[in-house]
Structure formats: structure tokens, C-alpha cells
Amino acid sequence: MIQNVLKHVAVIMDGNGRWAKDRRHPRVWGHVRGSGIVSEIVEAADDLGVKALTMYAFSTENWSRPLTEVKILFALLKKFLLKERPRIIRNKIQFKIIGDLSGLNIETQNIIKNLEEETKLFTGLKLTFAFGYGSRQEILNAVNSFVENNPGKKIDETDLASSLYNPESGDVDLLIRTGGDFRISNFLLWQCAYSELYFTKTQWPDFSVTEFSKILNEVSQRERRFGAICETAGLNVTTTKAQENLKSIQESRDVH
């Protein structure tokens, strides 16, 4: 395997319900099976040198699903947190949940709050769950928060990026979606502006560490140009160069 150069990986865990339906089981059965895959992928990401892993667990649009299914998802989140807490602590993983958690019961909210507080200074993998999350809402909240705290100041890209839910994780290098659909479903729209995209037909309950590792290996070999004509170290490099070239052209135009 070549060295992994992908610092921030995001995953849309899709296909749980269809996986269960294909086996003539209730949709929630797929979510139960899928929840067990999460732990394996988190551990693999840590082992493979990923610095930040953001997983889409529940979107703002998912509130439209049957109430029974929603309640099962909430229960699975609580179960995961209680089960995985020792491993998160042991591996120095920095844990965070982004999104609107107001629909969760107080007990689960407290479990989340306590785990975030316990791990906030950890320097290992930055593990983030997006729950009750929508990227458009995140961007709106970021803009409104900045305007409220900086009246009269014009917002720029740096200001907006730093006002998002979890700026510490940075831009997404790779977005993986399981389940066979080809869309990003209102997930990390700002952060995924220059991310590599990988869509697999594998439904989440069948997703494996082997496939995850294979995807990272394949995408790590892609040439990432960020708008330039050759491979570039990162978006900041091409942005700086673009600004320099624009300034040079403007100065040349003004002289003539």
C-alpha cells in the first residue's frame, strides 16, 4: 500500500434500509447491522493515518422518515457512544457531533457533551458524527453568527470557514458515499469544494475495512491539481498563486 495522503475523509453511510429490504427484514434491521460497521471503519481510519473522519449519521431531511425508524437511530447512537467510549478514550480520539441535537433526549445529549469535553484536548483522530445535520443550515448559521459578532465587517472565506461547526477538521480530501447513489445530499458543501469523490454500490452494512483501505489507496494515487495544471500540495497553494497572478495582471494593466 502507498502512503495515505488524505487527511480528512468524510463518509455518507447509505444503503442500510435497502440492504434490509433486500433480505425481507424491516429497515431498522439494516441500521442495527450498519452501526456495527462504524467501529471497524473508525479503527481502520486511525490505523491508516487519517487525521479527521466525519460520518453522516442523520440529516435534517431524515426527520421525514417513520418515527419508529428515527427512534431506533437515536437509540443506536446512544448505544454506540456508551459502547465505544472506552476505545475512544484509549486511542486518544477527539470526538464531536455537529448538527441540531435538540431532538435527542437529555440523557443522550449529556453523554455527548461529556464525551466531547473528555476528549477535546486529545491529539488523535478527529472523529465527527453529523447528526441532525444539514450543510446549508450550517453555512447560514456561520454567516449569521459572524455578522452578529462582527457588525459592519465584510465576511471573507477565512471568516466563514472558521465559523463552521467544526473548523478544526479542515477541508475534506475525500468524500465516500456507499449505497450506489451519486449525490452528496447537503453534506459538508463548503468543506467538499475540492474534495475527491468516490461512489460505491456497496451498501453500508456490507462495507468493509478492506474496501475502505482500497478506496484510500486508489484515491491517494490521483493527481490533485486544485485548479492548477499540475499536481499541487493543496488548495492554499493554488489560491495564493492565483492571487499573485491576478495582482500582477492588474498592476501590468494599470501601467499600460
- Predicted TM-score (pTM) of the model is 0.86
Hey, what amino acid is at 13? M
Catalytically active residues, by annotation: 14, 62
Phi, psi of 212 (to 5 degrees): -60, -45
pLDDT of residue 1: 44
Strands (DSSP E) contained in 103-213 are: 126-133, 174-177, 196-199
Q: How far apart are the C-alpha atoms of 56 and 44, rounded to whole Å?
A: 17
Name all contacts of 245-248 with Cβ < 8 Å and 24+ positions apart.
none
- If you write DSSP's letter for every residue of 57-121 in order, what string do you get? EEEGGGGGS-HHHHHHHHHHHHHHHHHHHHHHHHTT-EEEEES--TTS-HHHHHHHHHHHHHHTT
Contacts for 84 with CB less than 8 Å, ≥ 6 apart: 39, 42
Angle at 229 between CA 227 and CA 233, to 5 degrees: 70
Q: Write out the chain's pLDDT in tens, 256 residues.
A: 445 689 999 999 999 999 999 999 989 899 999 999 999 999 999 999 999 999 999 888 888 888 888 888 899 999 999 999 999 999 999 999 999 999 899 999 999 999 999 999 999 999 999 999 999 999 999 999 999 999 999 999 999 999 999 999 999 999 999 999 999 999 999 999 999 999 999 999 999 999 999 999 999 999 877 566 656 666 565 555 555 555 566 666 676 5
CB-based contacts of 152: which residues, under 8 Å, 6+ apart?
A: none
Looking at residue 60, its pLDDT comes to 81
Q: Letter for the amino acid at 192?
A: C
- CB atoms under 10 Å from CB of 76, counted, come to 19
Q: Which three cell numbers stand for residue 151?
A: 457588525
pLDDT of amino acid 61 = 82
pLDDT for res 71: 87
